[in-house]
């Protein structure tokens, strides 16, 4: 939840705790906290002699107070949470080891679906670097898996690049900025 004033946030948190207690529920202390976040957070913290505003992780993204390059205006930057990125890479690496015996087209078709699905969710503005990291790590893991298949002919990068070009999608931002997404005009 976002609030303009701290006292409003504290009141809401207190009332939410009371409301949940009526149903025998409680807020998780590690997952519920008040942080200063927003357009004025960096400036206010700098005046107090504190560091950058805190970040928070929600739905697989780390949300960061940022500035646009052109106007210097406030923007909420969303980057893939590192923990989630590494977990997905590890999961795919393990699955590639299990699928090592399959043909390259079968592996490529499966990998294309997995990588495209990842891009579909994480393809938000400002997250291009994380998407590129994900694609390159998956590519390296696939090459390592193919190199473990046999001893007859080593898979080189030169032989491997056409497979990557065919099966691994390029990182792409698929979601518009929120102001573009919510700025639709409906005929009346």
More confident residue, 137 or 65: 137
161 vs 186, higher pLDDT: 161
> CA torsion 166→169→171→174, rounded to 10°?
140
Structural tokens at position 44? 């206010």
- Cβ within 8 Å of residue 108, ≥6 positions away: 163, 166, 167, 168
Beta bridge partners of 77: 64
The per-residue pLDDT for range 69-114, each reduced to its tens digit, is 888 888 888 999 999 999 999 999 999 999 989 999 999 999 999 9
Query: In 3D, which of 60, 166, 147 has the Cα closest to residue 96?
Result: 147
Domain ranges of the chain: 6-80, 82-167
- Segment 152-159 shows an average pLDDT of 85
Confidence bin at 188 (pLDDT 50/70/90): low
> Mean pLDDT across the chain, nearest whole number?
88
* pTM score: 0.80
**Regarding beta strands 74-80 and 61-67, do their DSSP bridges make them parallel or antiparallel, or are they unpaired?**
antiparallel
More confident residue, 2 or 97: 97
Q: Encoding tokens for residue 99?
A: 């699928």
Segment 162-174 mean pLDDT: 94
- Which residue reads 């940022």 in tokens? 66
Per-residue pLDDT for 181 more than 70?
no
- 184 confidence band (pLDDT: 50, 70, 90): low
Q: How confident is the model at residue 41 (pLDDT cuts 50, 70, 90)?
A: confident
Question: Residue 162: helix, strand or coil by DSSP?
Answer: helix
**Residue % of the chain over a pLDDT of 70:** 94
């Amino acid at each position: 939840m976002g609030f303009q004033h701290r006292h409003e946030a504290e009141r809401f948190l207190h009332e939410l705790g009371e409301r949940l207690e009526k149903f025998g529920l409680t807020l998780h202390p590690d997952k519920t906290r008040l942080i200063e976040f927003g357009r004025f957070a960096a400036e206010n913290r700098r005046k107090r002699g504190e560091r950058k505003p805190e970040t928070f992780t929600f739905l697989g993204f780390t949300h960061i107070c940022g500035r646009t390059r052109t106007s210097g205006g406030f923007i909420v930057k969303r980057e893939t949470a590192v923990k989630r990125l590494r977990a997905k890479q590890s999961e795919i690496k393990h699955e590639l080891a299990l699928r090592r015996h399959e043909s390259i087209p079968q592996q490529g078709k499966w990998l294309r679906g997995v990588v495209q699905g990842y891009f579909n969710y994480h393809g938000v503005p400002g997250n291009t670097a994380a998407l590129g990291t994900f694609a390159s790590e998956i590519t390296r893991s696939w090459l390592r898996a193919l190199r473990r298949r046999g001893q007859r002919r080593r898979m080189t990068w030169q032989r491997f690049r056409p497979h990557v070009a065919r099966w691994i999608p390029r990182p792409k931002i698929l979601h518009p900025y929120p102001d573009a997404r919510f700025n639709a005009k409906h005929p009346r």
